[in-house]
A and B are shown apart, each in its own frame.
Chain A
Amino acid sequence: QQPVQSPQAVILREGEDAVINCSSSKALYSVHWYRQKHGEAPVFLMILLKGGEQKGHEKISASFNEKKQQSSLYLTASQLSYSGTYFCGTEDWDNYGQNFVFGPGTRLSVLP
């Protein structure tokens, strides 16, 4: 089952912050985050494993709350280069094996 991402779209001014959420109805093993610019391949941002860890790279960080089965991506002091569509991918395991499903994406536009 596809995770839910919110918001669907967000428009920011350069320097503003944004939070993108990803939630699942399943118990998750990991959450992956990707950014894709129009006409380009997705770029892997980070993976969060169950354990409630938080990761960050420069001004982009993420958290994973396995109890709530959700992850949030934090973009701080956004730059023009942050524009694109952000996808979360969730990994879970069931009796049939591993499942990996992407969310529908959140379109982020950063304006000067």
Chain B
Amino acid sequence: QQQVKQSPQSLIVQKGGIPIINCAYENTAFDYFPWYQQFPGKGPALLIAIRPDVSEKKEGRFTISFNKSAKQFSLHIMDSQPGDSATYFCAASKDEKLTFGTGTRLTIIP
């Protein structure tokens, strides 16, 4: 059962554009929603995270928007750079275990 659905599967954006990656979840008990960034040959690294009592969180060029009623959350990357090219995973948790989306391969072209 896919409890966290992520889209799109891949995304190509020009440098300076704003890629948006979306996730939807089913379990209303989830109370922690992190985003991870993974480069080839490396493990995922925590990028930014949000809790459901907040509708938006911004850290540098990365912003999470959270819609509790729709059970959706999204990642926006402002002023995207070629160095942001990576695979991005959303996740959700209600305990120590993280449930991940299937990932979005993002390519930023110069």
Chain B associates with chain A: no
Which residues in B have some Cβ–Cβ distance to A below 8 Å? none
